[in-house]
Structure 1
Amino acid sequence: MDLFYLAISSTFVNNILLAQYLGHCPFLGVSKRIGTALGMAAAIIFVTILSAIFTWSTFTYVLRPYGLEFLQTLTFILIIASLVQLVEIILKKKSKALYNALGVYLALITTNCAVMGVALLITRKELGFIEMLVFAIASSVGYALALLLFAGHRERLQISAIPKSMQGTAIALVTAGIMSLAFIGFRGMAA
Protein backbone atom coordinates (compact mmCIF):
# COMPACT_ATOMS: atom_id res chain seq x y z
CA MET A 1 0.00 0.00 0.00
CA ASP A 2 2.94 2.36 0.60
CA LEU A 3 3.92 2.06 -3.06
CA PHE A 4 0.38 3.07 -4.05
CA TYR A 5 0.57 6.18 -1.87
CA LEU A 6 4.03 6.97 -3.22
CA ALA A 7 2.70 6.71 -6.78
CA ILE A 8 -0.38 8.87 -6.12
CA SER A 9 1.65 11.43 -4.21
CA SER A 10 4.35 11.66 -6.88
CA THR A 11 1.87 11.90 -9.74
CA PHE A 12 -0.70 14.31 -8.32
CA VAL A 13 0.06 15.78 -4.90
CA ASN A 14 3.78 16.50 -5.24
CA ASN A 15 3.72 16.82 -9.01
CA ILE A 16 7.27 17.55 -10.08
CA LEU A 17 6.08 20.27 -12.45
CA LEU A 18 3.06 21.90 -10.84
CA ALA A 19 3.85 21.51 -7.14
CA GLN A 20 7.64 21.78 -7.24
CA TYR A 21 7.86 23.78 -10.50
CA LEU A 22 10.77 21.84 -11.93
CA GLY A 23 11.16 21.55 -15.69
CA HIS A 24 9.11 24.53 -16.80
CA CYS A 25 11.17 25.42 -19.94
CA PRO A 26 9.79 22.57 -22.07
CA PHE A 27 6.47 22.97 -20.27
CA LEU A 28 6.00 26.46 -21.69
CA GLY A 29 7.87 25.92 -24.94
CA VAL A 30 6.47 22.64 -26.26
CA SER A 31 2.91 22.94 -24.99
CA LYS A 32 1.46 24.90 -27.91
CA ARG A 33 0.35 21.72 -29.72
CA ILE A 34 -0.77 18.41 -28.21
CA GLY A 35 1.21 16.36 -30.75
CA THR A 36 4.49 18.01 -29.86
CA ALA A 37 3.68 17.84 -26.16
CA LEU A 38 2.94 14.12 -26.49
CA GLY A 39 6.35 13.50 -28.05
CA MET A 40 8.10 15.53 -25.35
CA ALA A 41 6.11 13.74 -22.64
CA ALA A 42 7.22 10.36 -24.00
CA ALA A 43 10.84 11.53 -24.15
CA ILE A 44 10.67 12.89 -20.59
CA ILE A 45 9.18 9.64 -19.28
CA PHE A 46 11.83 7.56 -21.03
CA VAL A 47 14.76 9.73 -19.94
CA THR A 48 13.50 10.18 -16.37
CA ILE A 49 13.00 6.46 -15.75
CA LEU A 50 16.30 5.44 -17.35
CA SER A 51 18.25 8.21 -15.63
CA ALA A 52 16.68 7.33 -12.28
CA ILE A 53 17.79 3.71 -12.66
CA PHE A 54 21.31 4.64 -13.73
CA THR A 55 21.79 7.45 -11.21
CA TRP A 56 20.39 5.36 -8.34
CA SER A 57 22.63 2.43 -9.25
CA THR A 58 25.68 4.66 -9.60
CA PHE A 59 25.01 6.41 -6.32
CA THR A 60 24.17 3.22 -4.41
CA TYR A 61 26.94 0.99 -5.73
CA VAL A 62 29.74 3.40 -6.64
CA LEU A 63 29.53 6.83 -5.05
CA ARG A 64 28.24 6.00 -1.57
CA PRO A 65 30.43 2.91 -0.87
CA TYR A 66 33.60 4.77 -1.85
CA GLY A 67 32.71 8.04 -0.12
CA LEU A 68 32.36 9.93 -3.39
CA GLU A 69 28.96 11.53 -2.69
CA PHE A 70 30.43 14.93 -3.55
CA LEU A 71 30.58 13.80 -7.21
CA GLN A 72 26.83 13.16 -7.27
CA THR A 73 25.79 16.24 -9.25
CA LEU A 74 28.52 15.92 -11.86
CA THR A 75 27.88 12.20 -12.28
CA PHE A 76 24.13 12.69 -12.60
CA ILE A 77 24.59 15.40 -15.24
CA LEU A 78 26.83 13.13 -17.30
CA ILE A 79 24.37 10.23 -17.07
CA ILE A 80 21.38 12.39 -18.01
CA ALA A 81 23.23 14.06 -20.90
CA SER A 82 24.24 10.66 -22.26
CA LEU A 83 20.68 9.36 -22.11
CA VAL A 84 19.33 12.47 -23.86
CA GLN A 85 21.86 11.94 -26.65
CA LEU A 86 20.56 8.38 -26.97
CA VAL A 87 16.96 9.63 -27.22
CA GLU A 88 18.01 12.24 -29.77
CA ILE A 89 19.73 9.63 -31.95
CA ILE A 90 16.72 7.30 -31.76
CA LEU A 91 14.24 10.07 -32.61
CA LYS A 92 16.38 11.31 -35.49
CA LYS A 93 16.36 7.83 -37.04
CA LYS A 94 12.83 6.69 -36.16
CA SER A 95 10.73 9.88 -36.18
CA LYS A 96 12.26 12.74 -38.14
CA ALA A 97 9.03 14.79 -37.90
CA LEU A 98 8.93 14.58 -34.10
CA TYR A 99 12.65 15.29 -33.93
CA ASN A 100 12.16 18.47 -35.96
CA ALA A 101 9.03 19.47 -34.01
CA LEU A 102 10.81 19.17 -30.66
CA GLY A 103 13.77 21.13 -31.97
CA VAL A 104 15.81 22.84 -29.29
CA TYR A 105 13.54 21.53 -26.52
CA LEU A 106 14.92 18.04 -26.99
CA ALA A 107 18.32 19.34 -25.97
CA LEU A 108 16.67 21.08 -23.03
CA ILE A 109 15.88 17.68 -21.51
CA THR A 110 19.59 17.49 -20.75
CA THR A 111 19.25 20.45 -18.43
CA ASN A 112 15.66 19.75 -17.47
CA CYS A 113 15.30 20.39 -13.78
CA ALA A 114 12.58 17.74 -13.52
CA VAL A 115 14.85 14.91 -14.66
CA MET A 116 17.67 16.03 -12.38
CA GLY A 117 15.21 16.77 -9.59
CA VAL A 118 13.84 13.23 -9.66
CA ALA A 119 17.35 11.78 -9.52
CA LEU A 120 18.32 14.02 -6.59
CA LEU A 121 15.07 13.42 -4.70
CA ILE A 122 15.57 9.67 -5.00
CA THR A 123 18.98 9.86 -3.35
CA ARG A 124 17.80 12.37 -0.75
CA LYS A 125 14.86 10.15 0.25
CA GLU A 126 17.14 7.09 0.27
CA LEU A 127 14.63 4.99 -1.64
CA GLY A 128 15.15 1.31 -2.36
CA PHE A 129 15.09 0.00 -5.94
CA ILE A 130 11.33 -0.69 -6.13
CA GLU A 131 10.44 2.61 -4.43
CA MET A 132 12.84 4.43 -6.75
CA LEU A 133 11.23 2.86 -9.78
CA VAL A 134 7.70 3.71 -8.61
CA PHE A 135 8.76 7.27 -7.76
CA ALA A 136 10.48 7.78 -11.13
CA ILE A 137 7.58 6.36 -13.12
CA ALA A 138 4.95 8.27 -11.16
CA SER A 139 6.87 11.55 -11.25
CA SER A 140 7.47 11.34 -14.99
CA VAL A 141 3.87 10.33 -15.67
CA GLY A 142 2.74 13.26 -13.50
CA TYR A 143 4.95 15.58 -15.54
CA ALA A 144 3.56 14.16 -18.78
CA LEU A 145 -0.02 14.46 -17.51
CA ALA A 146 0.49 18.11 -16.57
CA LEU A 147 2.21 18.83 -19.90
CA LEU A 148 -0.58 17.23 -21.94
CA LEU A 149 -3.35 18.93 -19.95
CA PHE A 150 -1.60 22.25 -20.37
CA ALA A 151 -1.16 21.68 -24.12
CA GLY A 152 -4.87 20.95 -24.42
CA HIS A 153 -5.67 24.19 -22.61
CA ARG A 154 -3.28 26.18 -24.78
CA GLU A 155 -4.78 24.78 -27.98
CA ARG A 156 -8.19 25.77 -26.71
CA LEU A 157 -6.93 29.22 -25.76
CA GLN A 158 -5.76 29.80 -29.35
CA ILE A 159 -9.37 29.83 -30.53
CA SER A 160 -10.71 31.74 -27.52
CA ALA A 161 -11.31 35.47 -27.30
CA ILE A 162 -8.57 36.67 -24.97
CA PRO A 163 -7.78 40.32 -24.26
CA LYS A 164 -4.70 41.47 -26.20
CA SER A 165 -2.73 42.20 -23.03
CA MET A 166 -3.20 38.61 -21.82
CA GLN A 167 -2.37 36.78 -25.04
CA GLY A 168 0.66 34.51 -25.35
CA THR A 169 2.89 33.89 -22.35
CA ALA A 170 0.71 35.87 -19.94
CA ILE A 171 -2.35 33.63 -20.32
CA ALA A 172 -0.10 30.56 -20.37
CA LEU A 173 1.35 31.47 -16.97
CA VAL A 174 -2.11 32.22 -15.54
CA THR A 175 -3.31 28.85 -16.85
CA ALA A 176 -0.31 27.09 -15.31
CA GLY A 177 -1.07 28.77 -11.97
CA ILE A 178 -4.70 27.65 -12.09
CA MET A 179 -3.57 24.10 -12.94
CA SER A 180 -1.21 24.17 -9.95
CA LEU A 181 -4.11 25.18 -7.72
CA ALA A 182 -6.19 22.34 -9.16
CA PHE A 183 -3.44 19.82 -8.35
CA ILE A 184 -3.25 21.17 -4.80
CA GLY A 185 -6.80 19.83 -4.45
CA PHE A 186 -5.30 16.33 -4.44
CA ARG A 187 -3.53 17.02 -1.11
CA GLY A 188 -6.27 15.33 0.90
CA MET A 189 -5.95 12.21 -1.24
CA ALA A 190 -2.42 11.24 -0.17
CA ALA A 191 0.14 12.69 2.17
Structure 2
Amino acid sequence: MEHIELFFKSIFIDNMVFATFLGMCSYLAVSKKVSTAVGLGAAVIFVLAITVPLNWLLDQYLLQPGALSWLGAEYADYDLSFLSFIMFIATIATMVQLVEIVVEKFSPSLYNSLGIFLPLIAVNCAILGGSLFMQSREIPTLGLALNYGVGSGIGWFLAILAIAAIREKIRYSNVPPALRGLGITFIITGLMAIGFMSFGGMLTGGDDEAPKADEATQVEASKEDLNKEKVLANNIKVNE
Protein backbone atom coordinates (compact mmCIF):
# COMPACT_ATOMS: atom_id res chain seq x y z
CA MET A 1 0.00 0.00 0.00
CA GLU A 2 2.86 2.39 0.80
CA HIS A 3 4.40 1.83 -2.64
CA ILE A 4 1.10 2.49 -4.43
CA GLU A 5 0.40 5.59 -2.36
CA LEU A 6 3.84 7.08 -3.01
CA PHE A 7 3.62 6.22 -6.72
CA PHE A 8 0.30 7.99 -7.30
CA LYS A 9 1.22 10.93 -5.06
CA SER A 10 4.40 11.56 -7.05
CA ILE A 11 2.44 11.47 -10.31
CA PHE A 12 -0.63 13.54 -9.50
CA ILE A 13 -0.47 15.29 -6.13
CA ASP A 14 3.25 16.19 -6.04
CA ASN A 15 3.63 16.58 -9.80
CA MET A 16 7.01 18.10 -10.65
CA VAL A 17 5.55 20.65 -13.06
CA PHE A 18 2.14 21.52 -11.61
CA ALA A 19 2.94 21.31 -7.88
CA THR A 20 6.54 22.58 -7.69
CA PHE A 21 7.04 24.10 -11.20
CA LEU A 22 10.35 22.31 -11.77
CA GLY A 23 11.62 21.58 -15.25
CA MET A 24 9.68 24.49 -16.74
CA CYS A 25 12.41 25.44 -19.24
CA SER A 26 12.29 22.10 -21.03
CA TYR A 27 8.54 21.91 -20.45
CA LEU A 28 7.97 25.13 -22.39
CA ALA A 29 10.69 24.74 -25.02
CA VAL A 30 10.11 21.14 -26.09
CA SER A 31 6.31 21.00 -25.91
CA LYS A 32 5.49 22.31 -29.38
CA LYS A 33 5.13 18.81 -30.84
CA VAL A 34 3.84 15.62 -29.25
CA SER A 35 6.58 13.49 -30.85
CA THR A 36 9.41 15.50 -29.31
CA ALA A 37 7.59 15.73 -25.97
CA VAL A 38 7.26 11.93 -25.86
CA GLY A 39 10.97 11.49 -26.57
CA LEU A 40 12.08 13.89 -23.86
CA GLY A 41 9.50 12.64 -21.37
CA ALA A 42 10.60 9.02 -21.80
CA ALA A 43 14.24 10.05 -21.34
CA VAL A 44 13.33 11.94 -18.14
CA ILE A 45 11.56 8.87 -16.74
CA PHE A 46 14.62 6.73 -17.49
CA VAL A 47 17.11 9.16 -15.94
CA LEU A 48 14.97 9.75 -12.81
CA ALA A 49 14.56 5.99 -12.37
CA ILE A 50 18.37 5.65 -12.30
CA THR A 51 19.54 8.79 -10.49
CA VAL A 52 17.08 8.86 -7.59
CA PRO A 53 18.00 5.35 -6.31
CA LEU A 54 21.71 6.05 -6.87
CA ASN A 55 21.51 9.30 -4.95
CA TRP A 56 19.55 7.50 -2.22
CA LEU A 57 22.48 5.11 -1.82
CA LEU A 58 24.91 8.05 -1.71
CA ASP A 59 22.77 9.79 0.88
CA GLN A 60 22.37 6.71 3.09
CA TYR A 61 25.95 5.44 2.99
CA LEU A 62 28.02 8.58 2.44
CA LEU A 63 26.31 11.94 3.04
CA GLN A 64 24.06 11.65 6.09
CA PRO A 65 25.46 12.31 9.59
CA GLY A 66 26.95 9.04 10.78
CA ALA A 67 26.53 7.40 7.36
CA LEU A 68 30.24 6.48 7.27
CA SER A 69 29.96 4.26 10.34
CA TRP A 70 30.24 1.24 8.05
CA LEU A 71 33.93 2.20 7.57
CA GLY A 72 34.59 2.03 11.28
CA ALA A 73 33.76 3.63 14.61
CA GLU A 74 36.21 6.50 14.03
CA TYR A 75 34.13 7.69 11.04
CA ALA A 76 30.77 7.60 12.83
CA ASP A 77 30.80 11.33 13.65
CA TYR A 78 31.47 12.52 10.10
CA ASP A 79 28.78 14.65 8.43
CA LEU A 80 29.12 15.13 4.66
CA SER A 81 25.61 16.45 4.05
CA PHE A 82 27.07 19.76 2.78
CA LEU A 83 28.22 17.82 -0.30
CA SER A 84 24.68 16.76 -1.26
CA PHE A 85 24.21 19.24 -4.09
CA ILE A 86 27.54 18.63 -5.80
CA MET A 87 27.31 14.85 -5.41
CA PHE A 88 23.76 14.70 -6.74
CA ILE A 89 24.62 16.94 -9.70
CA ALA A 90 27.72 14.87 -10.47
CA THR A 91 25.65 11.67 -10.40
CA ILE A 92 23.02 13.16 -12.72
CA ALA A 93 25.58 14.51 -15.19
CA THR A 94 27.46 11.21 -15.20
CA MET A 95 24.35 9.14 -15.80
CA VAL A 96 23.12 11.44 -18.57
CA GLN A 97 26.47 11.19 -20.35
CA LEU A 98 26.52 7.42 -19.86
CA VAL A 99 23.00 7.06 -21.24
CA GLU A 100 23.94 9.25 -24.21
CA ILE A 101 27.02 7.15 -24.98
CA VAL A 102 25.17 3.83 -24.66
CA VAL A 103 22.25 4.97 -26.82
CA GLU A 104 24.58 6.34 -29.49
CA LYS A 105 26.57 3.09 -29.51
CA PHE A 106 23.78 0.54 -29.56
CA SER A 107 20.84 2.45 -31.11
CA PRO A 108 21.94 5.23 -33.47
CA SER A 109 18.41 5.67 -34.80
CA LEU A 110 17.05 6.38 -31.31
CA TYR A 111 19.97 8.71 -30.62
CA ASN A 112 19.25 10.68 -33.79
CA SER A 113 15.54 10.91 -33.00
CA LEU A 114 16.22 12.27 -29.50
CA GLY A 115 18.93 14.64 -30.74
CA ILE A 116 19.58 17.50 -28.36
CA PHE A 117 17.01 16.27 -25.84
CA LEU A 118 19.40 13.82 -24.17
CA PRO A 119 22.01 16.40 -23.07
CA LEU A 120 19.17 18.77 -22.14
CA ILE A 121 18.18 16.35 -19.36
CA ALA A 122 21.37 17.20 -17.45
CA VAL A 123 20.16 20.79 -16.96
CA ASN A 124 16.55 19.85 -16.22
CA CYS A 125 15.97 20.97 -12.63
CA ALA A 126 13.22 18.36 -12.23
CA ILE A 127 15.94 15.68 -12.22
CA LEU A 128 17.81 17.33 -9.34
CA GLY A 129 14.50 18.11 -7.63
CA GLY A 130 13.63 14.41 -7.57
CA SER A 131 16.81 13.58 -5.64
CA LEU A 132 16.48 16.54 -3.27
CA PHE A 133 12.82 15.74 -2.49
CA MET A 134 13.82 12.12 -1.91
CA GLN A 135 16.37 13.33 0.63
CA SER A 136 14.10 15.86 2.37
CA ARG A 137 11.22 13.38 2.68
CA GLU A 138 13.56 10.77 4.17
CA ILE A 139 12.38 7.92 1.97
CA PRO A 140 13.33 4.83 4.00
CA THR A 141 14.13 2.12 1.43
CA LEU A 142 15.80 1.77 -1.97
CA GLY A 143 12.61 0.30 -3.42
CA LEU A 144 10.58 3.35 -2.40
CA ALA A 145 13.29 5.61 -3.85
CA LEU A 146 13.02 3.79 -7.18
CA ASN A 147 9.23 4.02 -6.93
CA TYR A 148 9.42 7.76 -6.29
CA GLY A 149 11.85 8.31 -9.17
CA VAL A 150 9.69 6.45 -11.67
CA GLY A 151 6.49 8.12 -10.43
CA SER A 152 8.03 11.61 -10.61
CA GLY A 153 9.24 10.91 -14.13
CA ILE A 154 5.80 9.72 -15.22
CA GLY A 155 4.22 12.83 -13.71
CA TRP A 156 6.60 15.08 -15.67
CA PHE A 157 5.98 13.01 -18.80
CA LEU A 158 2.20 13.39 -18.47
CA ALA A 159 2.57 17.15 -17.98
CA ILE A 160 4.69 17.77 -21.08
CA LEU A 161 2.62 15.34 -23.15
CA ALA A 162 -0.63 17.09 -22.20
CA ILE A 163 0.64 20.61 -22.93
CA ALA A 164 2.19 19.46 -26.23
CA ALA A 165 -1.12 17.96 -27.37
CA ILE A 166 -2.98 21.14 -26.41
CA ARG A 167 -0.43 23.39 -28.13
CA GLU A 168 -0.72 21.38 -31.34
CA LYS A 169 -4.49 21.87 -31.37
CA ILE A 170 -4.43 25.49 -30.23
CA ARG A 171 -2.59 26.55 -33.38
CA TYR A 172 -5.90 26.33 -35.19
CA SER A 173 -7.79 28.29 -32.52
CA ASN A 174 -8.59 31.98 -32.59
CA VAL A 175 -6.27 33.06 -29.76
CA PRO A 176 -6.07 36.84 -29.10
CA PRO A 177 -2.81 38.22 -30.56
CA ALA A 178 -1.53 39.40 -27.17
CA LEU A 179 -1.78 35.86 -25.75
CA ARG A 180 -0.33 33.87 -28.62
CA GLY A 181 2.76 31.80 -27.87
CA LEU A 182 3.95 31.61 -24.28
CA GLY A 183 1.07 33.73 -22.96
CA ILE A 184 -1.66 31.20 -23.66
CA THR A 185 0.76 28.38 -22.70
CA PHE A 186 1.20 29.85 -19.21
CA ILE A 187 -2.56 30.28 -18.83
CA ILE A 188 -3.20 26.67 -19.86
CA THR A 189 -0.44 25.47 -17.52
CA GLY A 190 -2.07 27.34 -14.63
CA LEU A 191 -5.46 25.81 -15.39
CA MET A 192 -3.91 22.35 -15.61
CA ALA A 193 -2.18 22.94 -12.26
CA ILE A 194 -5.55 23.82 -10.71
CA GLY A 195 -6.95 20.60 -12.17
CA PHE A 196 -4.13 18.54 -10.67
CA MET A 197 -4.70 20.23 -7.31
CA SER A 198 -8.05 18.45 -7.22
CA PHE A 199 -6.11 15.24 -6.61
CA GLY A 200 -4.91 16.67 -3.29
CA GLY A 201 -7.59 14.80 -1.36
CA MET A 202 -6.47 11.43 -2.72
CA LEU A 203 -4.49 9.07 -0.48
CA THR A 204 -4.06 11.68 2.24
CA GLY A 205 -5.48 9.53 5.00
CA GLY A 206 -8.45 11.83 5.52
CA ASP A 207 -10.94 8.97 5.38
CA ASP A 208 -8.94 7.04 7.94
CA GLU A 209 -8.64 9.94 10.36
CA ALA A 210 -12.35 10.67 10.51
CA PRO A 211 -13.37 7.30 12.02
CA LYS A 212 -10.56 7.64 14.57
CA ALA A 213 -11.92 11.03 15.59
CA ASP A 214 -15.42 9.59 15.85
CA GLU A 215 -14.14 6.72 17.98
CA ALA A 216 -12.36 9.14 20.30
CA THR A 217 -15.51 11.23 20.60
CA GLN A 218 -17.54 8.13 21.42
CA VAL A 219 -15.04 7.08 24.07
CA GLU A 220 -15.15 10.52 25.69
CA ALA A 221 -18.95 10.51 25.57
CA SER A 222 -19.10 7.07 27.17
CA LYS A 223 -16.73 8.24 29.92
CA GLU A 224 -18.95 11.24 30.61
CA ASP A 225 -22.04 9.03 30.75
CA LEU A 226 -20.26 6.69 33.15
CA ASN A 227 -19.27 9.58 35.41
CA LYS A 228 -22.82 10.89 35.38
CA GLU A 229 -24.12 7.46 36.34
CA LYS A 230 -21.63 7.28 39.22
CA VAL A 231 -22.62 10.73 40.47
CA LEU A 232 -26.29 9.82 40.22
CA ALA A 233 -25.68 6.55 42.07
CA ASN A 234 -23.82 8.39 44.85
CA ASN A 235 -26.66 10.92 45.15
CA ILE A 236 -29.16 8.11 45.42
CA LYS A 237 -27.12 6.46 48.20
CA VAL A 238 -26.84 9.78 50.07
CA ASN A 239 -30.58 10.38 49.82
CA GLU A 240 -31.25 6.87 51.10
Structure 1 length-normalised TM: 0.92
State the one-letter code of the partner of 1:14.
Answer: D
Q: 1:148 is matched with which residue?
A: 161
Determine which structure has more spread, i.e. the larger CA radius of gyration: 2
Tell whether the 8 Å contact from 1:45 to 1:141 is kept in structure 2 after alignment.
Answer: yes
Q: How does 1:1-191 map to 2 (within 5 A)?
A: 1-64=1-64, 65-66=67-68, 67-93=79-105, 94=107, 95-100=110-115, 103=116, 105-127=117-139, 128-191=141-204
Tell whether the 8 Å contact from 1:13 to 1:190 is kept in structure 2 after alignment.
Answer: no
1:77 Cα offset (Å)? 0.5
Unaligned runs of 5+ in 1: none
SS at match of 1:109: helix
Q: Tell which deviates more after alignment, 6-15 or 87-96.
A: 87-96
Distance 1:99 1:46 in 2: 13
Q: 2:220 is matched with which residue?
A: none
Computed over aligned residues only, the root mean square deviation of the Cα atoms, in angstroms, reads: 1.4
Q: Is the alpha carbon distance of 1:79 and 1:180 closer, same or farther for their aligned partners in structure 2, counting shifts above 3 Å?
A: same
1:96 Cα offset (Å)? 4.1
- More relative contact order, 1 or 2 (CA 8 Å, 6+ apart): 1
1:133 Cα offset (Å)? 1.4
Tell whether the 8 Å contact from 2:40 to 2:114 is kept in structure 1 after alignment.
Answer: no
Unaligned runs of 5+ in 2: 69-78, 205-240
Distance 2:35 2:16 in 1: 22
Distance 2:172 2:16 in 1: 29
1:91 Cα offset (Å)? 4.3
For each residue in 1:71-114, what CA deviation from the matched residue of structure 2 results, as whole angstroms up to 9, or x when unmatched? 111000000011111233344452243233xx2x4333212111
Of all paired residues, the percent bearing the same amino acid is: 35
State the one-letter code of the partner of 1:34.
Answer: V
Q: Tell which deviates more after alignment, 82-91 or 128-137.
A: 82-91
